[in-house]
């Protein structure tokens, strides 16, 4: 196995974490086994007590999943990664592992709709107090801090308006108050942004998105230090079992091998499409951090090495115009997923953010005329052709 510290990003993405077996296989093997056989009763006891490292049961120890965990940790610059069955399972495991009744969390209002529901409906039910604030207003975060604030949670760039949060400033605020900062890095992936290097304590992934990259499998991950992720987050996963399957881990390993190439290509296509959309009649605003017109273009340029593949835009004609545009497409896929080689289009107000109340939608800036495009890797002229019909 290579020592990740000695190698660059692309090499780590291709080779980190693979401990070759005695078969000498070149590709990473899949271990489809639920349990493992011990040499003796003594060894079984030592494994279960933790005195001897090694595999026990695939809910929490599987070599293919471990290879994925070590590779992603090497890419994010974290000591430890815990792989989960989905991105939401990663957020849930973080909360269940690190929070207790009476704790307070501060969450960006601009997070994925289901994340809002998780905090509002479920974490609240277990006595965890939640305050939602504007991702971009540092003063709101400062005012929200309380003595019992344990976690700050954000996505940057945020879904679907691509607002950018200042990771270093929010990490400093969290640490001054004895809290942790968790960053959902789904939109950028470590190929474009490494939150731990900017001071964050925890990185969350929906591997379902760009880590896979071809829309095939569900998965997630939590990355951070051994202390934060390796104890209580791992312990929750081991106990409750929202674990990644070894088959999915193998798919994500293959995805990671081309991550950098794909993220650069997504960024190139999205930049061209965003610039073109800005010129189109009926489009009132285009949200994309790579555009100079984006309010936080400068901040995005300092903490990201590329703007990524997601953009959204607002149509003057409201929901009717947005649905008209979506229905006029012939090639791009009408689906809420993102992070695929295939371009996808969605209407956030009635899909990903449909469960928010009208007030929450208004506060989050999700209007009826908003359309989100997760720009894939098709020919850019074909993408323009497909959208211009509905414009
Ligand atoms: C930014 C972000 N975080 C988390 C999730 C949840 O991931 P999953 O669908 O894998 O549970 C999503 C899903 O769309 C997402 O877009």
186 lines ligand 1 (CB under 6 A): yes
pTM for the complete prediction? Answer: 0.96
Contact between residue 321 and residue 369 where contact means Cβ atoms under 8 Å apart? yes
Index of the ligand 1 atom closest to the CA of residue 218: 10
**Distance, CA 87 to ligand 1 centroid (Å)?**
5
Please name each of the domains of the chain with its CATH number: 4-257 (3.40.640.10), 259-388 (3.90.1150.10)
Residues facing residue 104 across a β-bridge:
129, 149
Contact between residue 342 and residue 333 where contact means Cβ atoms under 8 Å apart? yes
Residue nearest to atom 8 of ligand 1 (CA): 87
**Distance, CA 111 to ligand 1 centroid (Å)?**
10
Q: How far apart are CA 184 and CA 205, in angstroms?
A: 6
156 lines ligand 1 (CB under 6 A): no
Please report, in tens digits, the pLDDT of each residue of the chain (391 residues total): 888 889 999 999 999 999 999 999 999 999 999 999 999 999 999 999 999 999 999 999 999 999 999 999 999 999 999 999 999 999 999 999 999 999 999 999 989 888 999 999 999 999 999 999 999 999 999 999 999 999 999 999 998 999 999 999 999 999 999 999 999 999 999 999 999 999 999 999 999 999 999 999 999 999 999 999 999 999 999 999 999 999 999 999 999 999 999 999 999 999 999 999 999 999 999 999 999 999 999 999 999 999 999 999 999 999 999 999 999 999 999 999 999 999 999 999 999 888 778 887 887 789 999 999 999 999 999 999 999 999 9
Element housing 365 (H / E): none
* Greatest alpha-carbon span in the chain: 74
């Amino acid at each position: 196995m290579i020592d990740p510290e000695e190698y660059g990003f692309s090499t780590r993405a291709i080779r980190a974490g693979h401990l070759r077996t005695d078969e000498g296989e070149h590709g990473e093997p899949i271990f489809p086994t639920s349990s493992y056989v011990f040499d003796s009763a003594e060894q079984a006891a030592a494994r279960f007590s933790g005195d001897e490292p090694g595999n026990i049961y695939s809910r929490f120890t599987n070599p293919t999943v471990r290879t994925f965990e070590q590779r992603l940790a090497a890419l994010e610059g974290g000591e430890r990664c815990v792989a989960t069955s989905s991105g939401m399972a990663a957020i849930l495991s973080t909360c269940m592992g690190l929070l207790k009744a009476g704790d307070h969390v501060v969450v960006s209002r601009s997070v994925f709709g289901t994340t809002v529901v998780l905090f509002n409906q479920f974490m609240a039910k277990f006595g965890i107090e939640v305050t939602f604030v504007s991702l971009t207003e540092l003063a709101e975060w400062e005012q929200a801090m309380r003595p019992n604030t344990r976690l700050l949670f954000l996505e940057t760039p945020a879904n679907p308006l691509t607002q950018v949060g200042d990771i270093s400033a929010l990490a400093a605020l969290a640490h001054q108050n004895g809290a942790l900062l968790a960053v959902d890095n789904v939109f950028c992936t470590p190929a474009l942004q490494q939150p731990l290097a900017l001071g964050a304590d925890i990185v969350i992934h929906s591997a379902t998105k760009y880590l896979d990259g071809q829309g095939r499998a569900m998965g997630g991950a939590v990355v951070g230090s051994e202390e934060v992720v390796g104890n209580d987050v791992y312990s929750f996963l081991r106990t409750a079992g929202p674990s990644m399957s070894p088959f999915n881990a193998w798919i994500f390993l293959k995805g990671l091998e081309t991550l950098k190439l794909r993220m650069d290509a997504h960024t190139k296509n999205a930049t061209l499409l965003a610039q073109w959309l800005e010129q189109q009649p009926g489009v009132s605003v285009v949200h994309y951090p790579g555009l100079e017109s984006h309010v936080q273009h400068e901040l995005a340029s300092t903490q990201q090495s590329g703007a990524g593949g997601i953009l959204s835009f607002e149509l003057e004609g409201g929901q009717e115009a947005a649905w008209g545009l979506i229905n006029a497409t012939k090639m791009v896929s009408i689906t809420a997923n993102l992070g695929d080689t295939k371009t996808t289009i969605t209407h956030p107000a009635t899909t990903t953010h449909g469960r928010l109340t009208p007030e929450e939608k208004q506060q989050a800036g999700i209007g009826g005329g908003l359309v989100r495009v997760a720009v894939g890797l098709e020919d850019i002229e074909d993408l323009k052709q497909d959208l211009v019909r509905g414009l």
